[in-house]
Amino acid sequence: MSEFIDEVLEFIDPLFEPAFMIGSIKALVIAAALLGVVPPLVWLERRLMGRFQVRLGPNRVGPLGLGQPFADSIKLLFKESIIQSSADKFLYHLAPAVVVFTAIVAFAVIPFGEPVTVFGQEIGLWGANINSGILFIFAISGMGIYGMVLAGLSSNNKYSLMGGLRSSAQMISYELTLGLSALSVIVLTGSLNLIDLVQNQSTVPYIFLQPLAFLLFFIAGVAETNRAPFDLPEAEQELVAGFHTEYTGMKFAMFFMGEYINMVTMSSMITLLFLGGWNAYGLPLWPILAFAIKVFFLLCVFIWLRSTFPRLRYDRLMTFGWKVLLPLCILNLLVTSVIKVL
Amino acid sequence: MLDQYTGVAIMLLMAIGIAGGMVLMTSILGPKKRFADKMEPFECGESQLVSPRQRFSVKFYLVAVLFVLFDIEAVFFFPWAILFKRLGVFGFVEMLLFILILGVGLMYVWRRGGLDWE
């Protein structure tokens, strides 16, 4: 019996190693922060949209209406989850889970500050520091397309199907632009590691060296997160709500959670690649605060774009991606490498 | 090497837990009152006239194929971009040729009308 206990203890021994413990705590903190940032972000969007449209926005629940998104999420949790009878049950349940899953995992490799020393242990402010950080994020956020396509296909509803098809075609088209515009930054750095990228920008952020790449990456990023003016998959006037027409309750909310977490991830990516990450450039800010301010600014720009631009027509959207952004990306890469070689 | 990915693995498990837990929770909580009309797919109040499981525009298929082609080409860029300094002029000229081929491919699709939506 004691031998058995010894074996069990030996088996679970690695779980008590400091590296594993710290990793678990970090993962827990990051996941909690991501889930916790969604309600305030919804609140921010609704308040800002209200101001942009010369109205107040939600202001009844709690101080400044801050309780509104929390009340909404509790309400959604206790709503009936309707699965219409002709839907594919398994895929129908899988789709929102895939969306949330990919959104959370993609954030695992994003660093948001220099390593800090706590209790004699050096702790990096990131979930994981992998050498191929950028590729990892592209790969995982690419998987998010599955969630939308599966939602569209499994619902057995023509609006959902159209929304799912549209979103897949849109996202794969703009993913090319996203990858290729990030490449010109990688040419300058020579590394896919996000921490190396930030350290290379300690004197000047890449937005000044690569303004066109920044613009392309930003546009593609807005399209990747399905935000207005690229919110064709949802297009409520034509497609009701696109791929999540048939969803109710928390499963409906999960698509929105995915969207908002993706917004945060995309803003962090833009900050890391072009705005110098946590470098404060002489301003007396903590690294993590500098990072947070930049991300917050970009999130506000995302919301600002939504209230400024009308939605694109679908054929315009696709031709814009393939005929304008993609050639510009290739051209920018070419020019960057020519300058770099000279 | 594998150590770097421990964090990713933990995050992966946690994300599965969160996503699965949410779906499970919303299925358990909340009322369950089923009746025939509620279980119909939404079509602005009408009963479903035609099944959505039909043929759809081939354009979407074409876009997917084009994406696969261009994305594979983009994948070749990544190792080149990392080794840019080490490869020097040789790597630069090689990649110039590659970009040229990619550009010709894009031009071909463009001229054949593969990127137009009617």
Burial (CB count <10 Å: 0-12, 13-18, 19+), residue B91: middle
Q: By the CB < 8 Å criterion, does B85 face chain A?
A: yes
Question: What CA dihedral angle connects A19, A24, A25 and A31, to 10 degrees?
Answer: 140
Q: What pLDDT is stored for residue A173 in this prediction? A: 86
Q: What is the pLDDT of residues A309-341, one digit of tens each?
A: 888 888 888 888 888 888 898 888 888 888 887
CB of B37 within 8 Å of a chain A CB? The answer is no
Q: Poorest-confidence range of A117-121, A146-150, B110-114?
A: A117-121
Distance of alpha carbon A305 from alpha carbon A299, whole angstroms: 10
Distance CA A233, CA A166 (A): 6
Residue of B nearest to A98 (CA): B19
B2: pLDDT strictly greater than 60: no
Q: What is the pLDDT of residue A218?
A: 92
pLDDT at A297 over 80: yes
Q: What is the mean pLDDT of residues A116-127?
A: 70
A192-207: average pLDDT: 83
pLDDT at A217 over 70: yes
Percent of chain A with pLDDT over 70: 94
Q: Is B90 on the interface with A (CB under 8 A)?
A: no
B66: closest chain A residue by CA: A173
* Cβ-Cβ contacts under 8 Å, B94 against chain A: none
Question: What's the rounded Cα separation, in Å, for the pair A112 and A128?
Answer: 11
Rounded mean pLDDT, A176-197: 85
pLDDT at B106: 85
Helix (H, G, I), strand (E, B) or coil at A274: helix
Q: Compare CB distances from A80 to B32, B60, B81 and report the shortest one's residue.
A: B32
Give residues with Cβ within 8 angstroms of A301, minimum separation 6. none
- 3-state SS, residue A116: strand
Instruction: Show the beta-strand stretches assigned E in B28-107.
Output: none
Domain ranges for chain A:
78-341
CA atoms of A188 and A205, how far apart (whole Å): 12
The CA distance from B72 to the nearest CA of chain A, in Å, is 10
Output the CA–CA distances (angstroms, integers) from residue A37 to A8, A40, A224, A261, A316, in the order listed: 39, 6, 20, 8, 34
Q: How far is B93 from chain A (nearest CA, A)?
A: 10
Write down the pLDDT at residue B1: 47
- pLDDT of A121 reads 66
User: Among partner residues A82, A100, A127, which is closest to B38 by beta-carbon distance?
Assistant: A82
Would you state the pLDDT for residue A68? 86
Which of A281, A341, A309, A119 has its CA nearest to residue A219?
A309
* A102 to chain B, closest Cα gap in Å: 8
Which tokens is A35 given?
A: 């889930």
Rounded CA separation A176/B113 (Å): 19
| Per-residue confidence band for A228, with pLDDT thresholds at 50, 70 and 90 | confident
Digit-coded pLDDT (tens) for A266-277 = 999 999 888 887
- ipTM for the predicted complex comes to 0.83
Query: Average pLDDT, whole number, for chain A?
Result: 83
Q: A236 falls in which pLDDT band (50, 70, 90)?
A: low
Residue A10 has pLDDT above 50, yes or no: yes
Q: Is B88 left (phi over 0), alpha (psi -120 to 50) or beta?
A: left
pLDDT of A214 > 80? The answer is yes
Among A51-55, A64-68, A155-159, where is mean pLDDT lowest? Answer: A155-159
Among candidates A170, A151, A150, A152, which has minimal Cα distance to A161? Answer: A152
The one-letter amino acid code at A27 reads A
User: Chain A partners of B117 at a C-beta cutoff of 8 Å?
Assistant: 314-315, 318-319
Give the pTM.
0.86
Chain A residue closest to B7 (CA)? A128
Q: Provide the pLDDT for residue B11.
A: 84
- For the domain spanning B2-112, the CATH number is 1.20.58.1610
Asked if B93 reaches chain A (Cβ–Cβ under 8 Å), the answer is: no
CB pairs A-B closer than 8 Å? 207
Greater model confidence, B23 or B117: B23
Minimum-distance CB partner of B52 among A135, A161, A327: A161
Predicted confidence band of residue A192 (pLDDT cuts 50, 70, 90): confident
User: Quick one: pLDDT at residue A1?
Assistant: 67
Rounded CA-CA distance A63/A286 in Å is 29
Which is higher by pLDDT, B5 or A332? A332
Q: Give yes or no for residue B113 having a pLDDT over 60.
A: yes
The mean pLDDT of chain B is 80
Residue A283 confidence (pLDDT): 76
Q: Is the peptide bond before A229 cis (omega within 30 degrees of 0)?
A: yes
